[in-house]
Structure 1
Amino acid sequence: MNHLPTLQAPVLERPLLLYLASNSQVIRALLAQKNDDGNEQPIYYVSRTLKNAETKYPRIEKAFVVVIYASQRLKRYFSAHQILLVTKSHPIKALLHQPLLTGRIAQWLVLLSQYNIGLRTPRVVKSQAIANLLAQFPRKEEGSLSKEIPGEVAVVELLGKKWTMRFDGSATTTSNGLGVVLSCKDGDTMPLSFKLGFSCSNNVAEYEAYLTGLTIALSIGVKHIRVLGDSNLVVSQVKGDFTLREQSLAAYRTWAQRLEQEFQTFSIEYTQMSKNRFANALATLGSQVPFKGRDTLVRIGRQEHSIIRILKKMFPEEPEQQD
């Protein structure tokens, strides 16, 4: 057996490469990063033995289980770096870019949406060979993936949680967008933004946001939900306080009633726009940001100090400007 390279500490603001490996018994993931010479160095690897129903997962689902498991075990790396998933698997590429899915994969995709994950086609086999080597030597670990991954067993935990959904739609003469924020008490927050590829009224955009949010919530197994929206028309029509006057909204209200029945507990309330800013910002983002393809990634960083202070540290030799 070849000697495995020594694990290295990652360099900040440099992407990490995520390699996957799995067989009938084990899943493993390896994080690597290119050094200054362009050579990949291993950063961290994790492994888990598959048990019970997990061994029967299709190959594509096993691959997703590796990504989810790695994101949970190595959350600080996933939060601090862009992750480039090195894969030839076209199904993974396709599923990562699907806006709406159902079932187990939908749950995993929503969980992964909080990270900056991209895709890269394999160019060298060095780190992939390491990942494959790790998969050949499974290390027994206590506990099942079902305790950490939302799957057939652990979905019970998801079902019991009380979720809050905020929604907003934005319609202008040139573009339309949706914003949905799903959150629960333990701190999990899932912000989602969509660009509509068709023209519509503001009321239609609000209903689109509402139904999209409910659909996603159901697709990831949510059964208890509280909905907040700043569209008085949508909220009042859903609650039965307003009659339906626009025939263009009839299908939306019908589907709303249908989806609401799928939840074990459901409530909807009107909230002021000032308390719905997150969903509003996502809707505006979806409508205003131009991009090609099915989706795009926008990262928001936190800057603690003025750019002037940062520049002074970068260029200490520059003289102070006098008033």
Structure 2
Amino acid sequence: MATQKLLHYFTDHEVAVVTSYPLGDIVHNRDVAGWISKWALKLMGHNIRYIPHTAIKPQALMDFVTKWTEVQLPTLDVTHKYWTMYFDGSIMAPGSGARMVLVSPDGSRLRYAIRLHFLASNNAVEYEALINGLRITIELGATRLYIRGDSELVVDQVKKESSCKSPLMAAYCLDVRKLEDKF
């Protein structure tokens, strides 16, 4: 019954099929071999094509964001005394990564990437990016800093709008408090 409805839909509409189900499992199943033949005959005259499901790997996404960050950075109405830091973290299969973009008062952009060789949650990676960015900024001699990040939890905890429920997050937040005294 469902097969007939599906075939009826395909014969009345022009459709592009998107699937991530392995076609090999369908083709080698004896129960559905007849169905495939019938579908092939019914669908032959229609404009239907197979489009494989693709995924963006986290590292590729981080590379893209870092490459195009300077084009998409919002302009801040600040005096020339302030540095600006953008931080972000990403979890990958073999490890984690953190990236920072520092913008000096004269507009120079400095990009940093750190690979973490330990298992960490997304929030821990975001904190690692923030803390390492603060350390780098201190080494560069900055005393005034705007910080921009996309992790709502980390930003809220640092701004004291949210409490740290996890001991690990509390430890990370304490590290940030120690470093923020330098600014």
- How high is the TM-score relative to the length of structure 1? 0.31
Q: Residues 181-221 of structure 1, C-alpha deviation per residue, up to 9 Å, x if partnerless?
A: 00034221100011111111111000000000000000111
User: Is 1:257 paired with 2:148?
Assistant: no
* Structure 1: 4+ residue segments shifted above 3 A: none
* Structure-to-structure mapping, 1:38-187, within 5 angstroms: 161-187=81-107
AA at the equivalent of 1:168: D
Match of 1:200 in 2: 120
Over the residues paired in the alignment, what is the CA RMSD in angstroms? 1.3
* Whole-angstrom distance in 2 between the partners of 1:185 and 1:260: 19
Picking from 207, 210, 231, the partner of 2:151 is 231
Q: Residues 15-37 of structure 1, C-alpha deviation per residue, up to 9 Å, x if partnerless?
A: xxxxxxxxxxxxxxxxxxxxxxx
Q: Residues 268-314 of structure 1, C-alpha deviation per residue, up to 9 Å, x if partnerless?
A: xxxxxxxxxxxxxxxxxxxxxxxxxxxxxxxxxxxxxxxxxxxxxxx
Q: Which runs of 5+ in 2 are unaligned?
A: 1-79
SS in 1 for 2:87: strand
AA at the equivalent of 2:168: S
Q: Which runs of 5+ in 1 are unaligned?
A: 1-159, 264-323
SS in 1 for 2:90: strand
AA at the equivalent of 2:179: L
* Whole-angstrom distance in 1 between the partners of 2:133 and 2:164: 21
* Whole-angstrom distance in 2 between the partners of 1:226 and 1:182: 10
* Whole-angstrom distance in 2 between the partners of 1:194 and 1:217: 15
AA at the equivalent of 1:249: M
Q: Residues 41-75 of structure 1, C-alpha deviation per residue, up to 9 Å, x if partnerless?
A: xxxxxxxxxxxxxxxxxxxxxxxxxxxxxxxxxxx
* Structure-to-structure mapping, 1:274-313, within 5 angstroms: none
1:173 shift after superposition: 3.6
More helix by share: 2
* Whole-angstrom distance in 1 between the partners of 2:164 and 2:136: 25
* Whole-angstrom distance in 1 between the partners of 2:101 and 2:135: 13
Picking from 152, 164, 171, the partner of 1:244 is 164
- How high is the TM-score relative to the length of structure 2? 0.54
Q: Residues 62-89 of structure 1, C-alpha deviation per residue, up to 9 Å, x if partnerless?
A: xxxxxxxxxxxxxxxxxxxxxxxxxxxx
* Whole-angstrom distance in 2 between the partners of 1:169 and 1:175: 11
AA at the equivalent of 1:175: G
Q: Count matched residues.
A: 104
AA at the equivalent of 1:198: F
Q: Residues 254-275 of structure 1, C-alpha deviation per residue, up to 9 Å, x if partnerless?
A: 0101111110xxxxxxxxxxxx
1:180 shift after superposition: 0.4
1:172 shift after superposition: 3.0
SS in 1 for 2:133: helix
* Whole-angstrom distance in 2 between the partners of 1:188 and 1:161: 13
